[in-house]
Structure 1
Amino acid sequence: MSSAPQAKTPATRSIEGKETPVLLTPGPLTTSARVKEAMLRDWGSRDPAFVALSQGVFDRIRALSGGTAEDHVCVPLQGSGTFAVEAMLTTFVGAGERVLLLVNGAYGHRMADICRKSGRAVEIYEVAETEVHDPAEVSRRLRLDPAIAFVAMVHCETTSGLLNPLEDIASCVRAEGRWLLVDSMSGFGALSVDMSGLELAAMAASSNKCLQGVPGLGFVVCRKELLEAARGRAPSVVLDLQAQAAALANGGQWRFTPPTHVIAALDAALAELEEEGGPPARLERYSQNLATLLSGMDRLGFQPALDPARQAPVIASFVEPADDWFSFETFYEALRARGFAIYAGKMTGRGTFRVGVIGAIDSLTIEAFLTATKAVVSEMKQKVIS
């Protein structure tokens, strides 16, 4: 597998004191110069060249998902990834149907909020933020309730960085004759998703995470026959996937103004993904980033919040030290001044912070971050002593 060219990553240049930090987050994330440059051109939304560009982007995304041209379609939507998740849930889950939500973090809870707000009946199977769901329990719940037509899950829960067992859950849902809806927002493009092999109903993701594009575009890859069966089901005008797909199939025109620059940037980002060696090569790079991060943070005394066996190579949560010297706000600002932006934690019941390992970065970037972190920790401890 090929690796990303190190000469093009932020780690190979001096970044201290720069106004634009390296984003060690789960998205928006650090993008390449090539992706940024793709946004310098203006596109007419009805221009045949743009129609061809966007259709090519969506066909490549569908292929990356393991979907076939005969059975699957990629339906784009303006907005963040949550727009795509809401569109997926409210288009496919009918008003008289129930959906079983697998929750172990904030993004599972967000799906529950969407369903309740839109009047979709839900059953929630929740486990701790550090745990994964038991496929046998999923099967048991499905057998007890024939009204459950769909199961919905988060592939990589960016609350913590937890990797959920997509293949195991898909297998038990398929065995019970139900359909699985997947939020693979922070996984798609690196973590394996096989629409055909896993017989998924739909998968939602976005342009600005493992695909390494910029924010502004969500999309849902779904089965064509299920999408057609959902005609008229969505309670929203703008989030109706079936209506959007029908419009795009009729000459490639969006129903509403498309994010032209975002799509052009995604076209460039997909080219970079292909040149890198596809999702397996990207996963290898991210995994190397994660290994470098975990070992370096361990040397500095920071403990991961998750069992390494459940840690996705996307973003890692670390437990905040209980010592007097540590303040997340001070820690964040000192790292930001040295050219690195991290995320506050989202886990409940304990203080954590998060460091992402995705984007146009490599292990050299992570090593530079660790050097900066070591200096920040030393300074913070010294201030307490003095």
Structure 2
Amino acid sequence: MNHYKLLTPGPLTTTSSVKEEMLMDRCTWDNDYKIITQKIRSQLLDLAGASKEEYTAVLMQGSGTFAVEAVMNSTISNRDKALIITNGAYGDRIVKIAQSIGLAFYQYAVAYDQYPNEEEIRNILIEEPDITHIVMVHCETTTGILNPIEMISNLSKEFGRTLIIDAMSSFGGIEIDVPGLGIDYLISSANKCIQGVPGFGFVIAKIEKLLACEGISRSLSLDLFDQWKEMDKDGKWRFTSPTHVVAAFSKALDELEEEGGIPARFSRYQKNNHILRERLKKVGFEAYLPEEKQSPIITTFRYPSDDFHFEHFYTFVKEKGYVLYPGKLTNERTFRIGNIGEIYEEDIEELCDIIETYIGVVKK
């Protein structure tokens, strides 16, 4: 089997030691395994700057989207209405979730390269007083834009609305003061900035809010409240958990701490991103977003010319050891390069050398 480095927003390149944790089989009922679950929950609260008296961490089987749907399904009742703020495909996916569940909602959408407008949102909240929840994606991996979480936080506080933040691609790589921002539910996944492998998502929830959610869920398996109550007893998941993934994630959390925590990981990702943008600009690849809107998570690049063939480019780069990501925009031809995972400056420099070689070959 060939081994590639994934320059994607997750799944991503993991360390050998994280992979090795999956070589041992574990029993879901065993106390040693339940201790791992409780350790993870405690460490997640520490990363969020949240106390166990005010917040809890709930782990949910499945991909990140499962965790998002669990929150939407379990915390927004038939009497409530959500304001869903979107500027990318993952915000649009939350709208699809709301439609599937049958939730009342108002979608406020802006262009994929634009921030939500504060005054427009304020006017919506004034004109739609029945809105009870505000939902937004923090880092939209459609483009890599980092949305203004502080502005949305201030509006939710001003209007007394429940705040749900999809921090799938940012938590663990960008510092988020969950209590300070007044986030009621923050959602992320094992295979993003904490650098575990796919298999479960997690929700950092304000206990006071979660207590009011009993009986809201329209689903058995996606009932966040019931999952929390069972997990809070002794660390037991309600249904079969991805034991290998959980063990790997526990190791990934330890490695995040060893690296220097979120500030150190953010610095590494940001350096990766800076090198990537600067070097590719020199060979004709224009970044879709201006630097001030760019997250250090993933970067979207426009095709350098009308005759650029991404599939050929992708194959060339993959043969040299790196896997890129296709674009997700519908109105422009783009591709994406992730900066997260077990990826360092030397990897980005090597990738840029490969791309420069490709451009030289194509021009000939």
TM-score band, normalised by shorter chain: over 0.9
- Deviation at residue 381 of structure 1 after TM alignment: 2.5
- Deviation at residue 173 of structure 1 after TM alignment: 1.3
- Deviation at residue 136 of structure 1 after TM alignment: 2.1
Aligned twin of 1:13: none
- Contact preservation (8 Å) 1:81, 1:217: yes
- Following the alignment from structure 1 to structure 2, what is the Cα–Cα distance between the partners of residues 158 and 230? 30
1:330 aligned residue (301, 306, 312): 312
Aligned twin of 1:117: 100
**Aligned residues: CA RMSD:** 1.0
SS of structure 1 residue aligned to 2:234:
coil
- Contact preservation (8 Å) 1:75, 1:221: yes
- Following the alignment from structure 1 to structure 2, what is the Cα–Cα distance between the partners of residues 149 and 231? 17
SS of structure 1 residue aligned to 2:132:
strand
Amino acid of the structure 1 residue aligned with 2:344? D
- Following the alignment from structure 1 to structure 2, what is the Cα–Cα distance between the partners of residues 191 and 68? 19
SS of structure 1 residue aligned to 2:335:
strand
- In the TM superposition, what are the counterparts of 1:44-193 in structure 2 within 5 Å? 44-193=27-176
Does residue 226 of the first structure (1) align with residue 215 of the second (2)? Answer: no
What number of residue pairs does the alignment pair up?
A: 364
Aligned twin of 2:349: 367
TM, length-normalised to structure 2:
0.98
Q: More deviation in 247-256 or 267-276?
A: 247-256
- Deviation at residue 99 of structure 1 after TM alignment: 0.2
1:295-349 CA distance string (max 9 Å, x none): 110111100000110000000000012243x101101111111111000000121
SS of structure 1 residue aligned to 2:57:
strand
- Deviation at residue 250 of structure 1 after TM alignment: 2.2
- Deviation at residue 251 of structure 1 after TM alignment: 2.6
- Following the alignment from structure 2 to structure 1, what is the Cα–Cα distance between the partners of residues 182 and 51? 12
Aligned twin of 1:304: 287
Unaligned runs of at least 5 residues, structure 2: none
- Deviation at residue 376 of structure 1 after TM alignment: 1.5
1:116-166 CA distance string (max 9 Å, x none): 100101101100000010122212211211210000000000000000000
Aligned twin of 1:320: 303
- Following the alignment from structure 1 to structure 2, what is the Cα–Cα distance between the partners of residues 206 and 380? 39
- Following the alignment from structure 1 to structure 2, what is the Cα–Cα distance between the partners of residues 71 and 58? 14
Does residue 246 of the first structure (1) align with residue 261 of the second (2)? Answer: no
Identity %: 41
SS of structure 2 residue aligned to 1:360:
coil
SS of structure 2 residue aligned to 1:74:
strand
- Following the alignment from structure 2 to structure 1, what is the Cα–Cα distance between the partners of residues 232 and 4? 41
Aligned twin of 2:332: 350
Unaligned runs of at least 5 residues, structure 1: 1-17
- Contact preservation (8 Å) 1:297, 1:303: yes
Aligned twin of 2:187: 204
Amino acid of the structure 1 residue aligned with 2:237? W
SS of structure 1 residue aligned to 2:40:
helix
- Contact preservation (8 Å) 1:136, 1:172: no
Aligned twin of 1:34: 17
SS of structure 2 residue aligned to 1:124:
strand
SS of structure 1 residue aligned to 2:201:
strand
- Deviation at residue 252 of structure 1 after TM alignment: 2.1
- Contact preservation (8 Å) 1:302, 1:321: yes
- Deviation at residue 378 of structure 1 after TM alignment: 1.8
- Following the alignment from structure 2 to structure 1, what is the Cα–Cα distance between the partners of residues 172 and 63? 17
- Contact preservation (8 Å) 1:155, 1:163: yes
Amino acid of the structure 1 residue aligned with 2:32? A
1:225-249 CA distance string (max 9 Å, x none): 1111010101111111000001112
- Following the alignment from structure 1 to structure 2, what is the Cα–Cα distance between the partners of residues 122 and 311? 28
Runs of 4+ displaced beyond 4 Å = none
SS of structure 2 residue aligned to 1:148:
coil
- Following the alignment from structure 1 to structure 2, what is the Cα–Cα distance between the partners of residues 145 and 63? 36
- Deviation at residue 380 of structure 1 after TM alignment: 2.3
Amino acid of the structure 2 residue aligned with 1:365? D
- Following the alignment from structure 1 to structure 2, what is the Cα–Cα distance between the partners of residues 292 and 305? 16
